[in-house]
Chains A and B, each alone.
Chain A
Amino acid sequence: MLKVPLSVDERWNLIEKISKQTVEFGARKHTLKDAIAELTVKPLTGIPVAIAVLYGFWSFFIDFAGTLFTDGFMVRLFDEHWLPWLQSVFPGGLGNPFYALLVDAGHMENGVLVASDNCLESFGVLTSGFFVPFGVVLWAVLAFYLMFALLEDVGYLPRLAVLVDTVLHKIGLHGYAIVPTFLALGCNVPGVTATRPLETRKQRFMMITLLSVFVPCGAQIGIMQDLVPELMGWIFLTLVIGYLGFGFILNKIVAGKSPEIIMDVPPYRMPMLKNIVSKLWIRTSRFLLVAVPFVLLGCLIVGLMYLTGAMDWLATVLGPFLMSWFGVPGETVAPLIAGFLRKDLAVGMLGGLMEQGIMTTFQVFTSVVLLCIYFPCLATFALMLKEENWKEFLGSIASLIAMVLVYGGLIHLVGIMLGVA
């Protein structure tokens, strides 16, 4: 007589018995769906399809979010109406600390404090603090999640995973890594949680570390695209090289195994409007709820640090190091501080510095890359604490610091050799 619980084999024997009596497999028809499914995973046709899909994704992202909403509408609304209106009605005026904090800090030109003419330079809670999330980032996040939801619901992501499987195996990851990576491009937080289906601690550790360092979030990409569209190609290339390069190194030095993950490739499905809308709503509202308070808080903290002179002090103290190691000016300290809270705000502040004309193109490029890699935002950081054990967390932080110093220095070195730094 059999003992309970059954052994694995006994259970399978029983299942075979049951299914023989209840399941009937008819002849499989080769449908159009199957044909499409095959075309998208065979390398010869799959790679062009993948390029087309990603290109379409990106084009939509920049056209819809950047050109149509941000440049076409929001920049005008904020710079031509909101900012001048606040500058005219808000009590205090230029030079008043309260006014500087909330509306416009102004900047020095030939020894004279002049008013800002756009919402990135002004650094005020009511101006920059609202322009960054509502003027730029919201539209980027919406565009990203709309396209992403379509890819998810059609069932394309697992196919992409199959395609990049070979490349990712070289760095000890599995094709499945594409799912957390893609999610992290929207927001690093769900990206980090999506590492849970990875089997070994080594894989999770590597994935979390690589994500939090080299994958910029949608908010950040949106504002980068708005400020330095001409540099985006270089920025992404640098990040991809970093992701693969440091992945390769981590795979060599981290103990543990990277076993195969068997992933089911689901059938293609027609996305349903209701589900797309519902997901768009869940994710966008989550973004607003988390991002907006942090952006406003960041604006306030950075503003206070300027007013009290703390920022100038930090810039003087850290300036020589930043300049000699990374080749960026001491003023970059302000965005780096803001970046602890929110990356989008940090990049926006960098935009303010750019407009004041104190940085070369290469310095802008280096600072934008540094902002991506030097620290995950606070929300991601907190989640890493929760998802990793202490040893892994310290490991993540150590590799993060090492990667920033090595990679940031390397970028500077390449710049010197090319004669652009």
Chain B
Amino acid sequence: MGHPNVGKSVFFNRLTGAKVLESNYPGTTVDFTKGWMRFGGEDVELIDVPGAFSLEPKDRAEEVAVKILEENRDSVVICVLDASKVERGLYLALEIIERGYPVVVALNMWDVAEDKNIRIDAEKLERILGVPVVPTIAISGEGFKELVSKIKEAAPVKIEKIIENAGGVESAAVSG
């Protein structure tokens, strides 16, 4: 899961050897594709989904993504974030964590973030979130080995634990 144009399809193609279209604009993928990847000596199913900004779908493509997530309650979710826009990506990642999915976070487009002079402390982020966080550059394949090896470390995390790790958070005055 991840925002539009963060590189989900590139991950999918790299991990499964499949060929789904990859392009440099949001909205390339509008339907899901299933594929198989080798993982710890067995074949595991991986699903490529369209980009979504949140779990409250606003359009047909997002509907597809959310539906796939809900239909696969016992999956591990690879959350692909654009490292140059971490905050926005974290919103979706937190939503998925709150729903109890085991998550691995990929900080993709690490190179773009470096270009923009954005530095992320991935280890600290990992400690706060309590889920594996791996910097990646999908188009060149950097960080993939580490990402795959950490899939088995993914476990559901309670949001209260994350709040505690982050040093607490005031409940919002305007709550929804």
Contact residues of A with B, CB < 8 Å?
2, 4-19, 21-29, 31, 33, 149, 152-155, 157-158, 176, 179, 193-194, 196-199, 204, 263-264, 266-267, 269, 272, 275, 278-279, 281-283
B residues 127-176 in Cβ contact with A at 8 Å: 128-129, 139, 159-160, 162-163, 166-176
Which of these, A9, A29, A193, contacts B30 with CB under 8 Å? A193
Complex CA–CA separation, A300 to B128 (angstroms) = 67
Whether A17 pairs with B167 at a CB distance below 8 angstroms is yes
Most buried by B among A33, A267, A283: A267
User: A196-B30, A267-B115, A283-B21 given. 15 additional CB < 8 A pairs?
Assistant: A2-B163, A6-B94, A9-B172, A10-B171, A11-B95, A13-B169, A14-B94, A18-B128, A27-B117, A155-B25, A196-B61, A199-B58, A264-B5, A275-B22, A279-B21
Interface residues on B, range: 35 or more
Whether B121 pairs with A5 at a CB distance below 8 angstroms is no
| Majority DSSP secondary structure for residues of A touching B | helix
Which of these, B27, B120, B168, contacts A179 with CB under 8 Å? B27
Whether B5 pairs with A266 at a CB distance below 8 angstroms is yes
Which of these, A14, A21, A279, contacts B22 with CB under 8 Å? A279
B44 within 8 A of partner (CB): no
Whether A9 pairs with B176 at a CB distance below 8 angstroms is yes
| Majority DSSP secondary structure for residues of B touching A | loop
Residues of chain B within 8 A of A25, CB atoms compared: 117-118
Which of these, A22, A29, A264, contacts B4 with CB under 8 Å? A264
Complex CA–CA separation, A281 to B21 (angstroms) = 10
Nearest CB of B to A297, in Å = 27
Q: How many A-B contacts are there with CB distance less than 8 Å? A: 158
Complex CA–CA separation, A272 to B23 (angstroms) = 11
Complex CA–CA separation, A4 to B99 (angstroms) = 9
Whether A13 pairs with B128 at a CB distance below 8 angstroms is no
Which of these, B26, B122, B166, contacts A21 with CB under 8 Å? B166
Nearest CB of A to B90, in Å = 5
Whether A26 pairs with B162 at a CB distance below 8 angstroms is no
Complex CA–CA separation, A272 to B22 (angstroms) = 11
Residues of chain A within 8 A of B159, CB atoms compared: 2, 4-6
Whether A153 pairs with B24 at a CB distance below 8 angstroms is yes
Say whether, besides A13-B170, A15-B87, A198-B59, A21 and B124 are in contact (CB < 8 Å): yes
Whether B118 pairs with A23 at a CB distance below 8 angstroms is yes
B38 within 8 A of partner (CB): no
Say whether, besides A14-B162, A22-B125, A29-B117, A2 and B94 are in contact (CB < 8 Å): no
Contact residues of B with A, CB < 8 Å?
3-5, 19, 21-28, 30-31, 50, 58-61, 64, 86-87, 90-91, 94-95, 98-99, 112, 115-122, 124-125, 128-129, 139, 159-160, 162-163, 166-176
Residues of chain B within 8 A of A275, CB atoms compared: 22, 139
Residues of chain B within 8 A of A196, CB atoms compared: 27, 30-31, 50, 59-61, 64
Which of these, A8, A149, A197, contacts B27 with CB under 8 Å? A197
The 7 closest A-B pairs by CB, nearest first: A26-B117, A9-B172, A152-B23, A196-B60, A155-B24, A196-B30, A7-B175
Whether B24 pairs with A269 at a CB distance below 8 angstroms is yes
Nearest CB of A to B1, in Å = 16
Whether A5 pairs with B175 at a CB distance below 8 angstroms is no
Complex CA–CA separation, A155 to B5 (angstroms) = 11
Whether A23 pairs with B23 at a CB distance below 8 angstroms is no
Query: Please, which residue of chain A has its CB at the minimum distance from the CB of B174?
Result: A9
A to B CB contacts below 8 Å, 12 in the list: A7-B172, A13-B169, A15-B90, A18-B166, A23-B120, A25-B117, A157-B25, A196-B27, A196-B60, A197-B27, A197-B60, A282-B21
Which of these, A15, A266, A272, A279, contacts B26 with CB under 8 Å? A266
Whether B119 pairs with A266 at a CB distance below 8 angstroms is no
Whether B61 pairs with A11 at a CB distance below 8 angstroms is no
Residues of chain A within 8 A of B116, CB atoms compared: 28
Nearest CB of B to A136, in Å = 25
Which of these, B64, B91, B124, B163, contacts A22 with CB under 8 Å? B124
Complex CA–CA separation, A331 to B90 (angstroms) = 62
Complex CA–CA separation, A256 to B77 (angstroms) = 36
Say whether, besides A17-B167, A196-B59, A198-B59, A179 and B25 are in contact (CB < 8 Å): yes
Nearest CB of B to A385, in Å = 15
Complex CA–CA separation, A70 to B94 (angstroms) = 55
Residues of chain A within 8 A of B24, CB atoms compared: 152-155, 266, 269
Say whether, besides A8-B176, A17-B167, A26-B118, A194 and B23 are in contact (CB < 8 Å): no
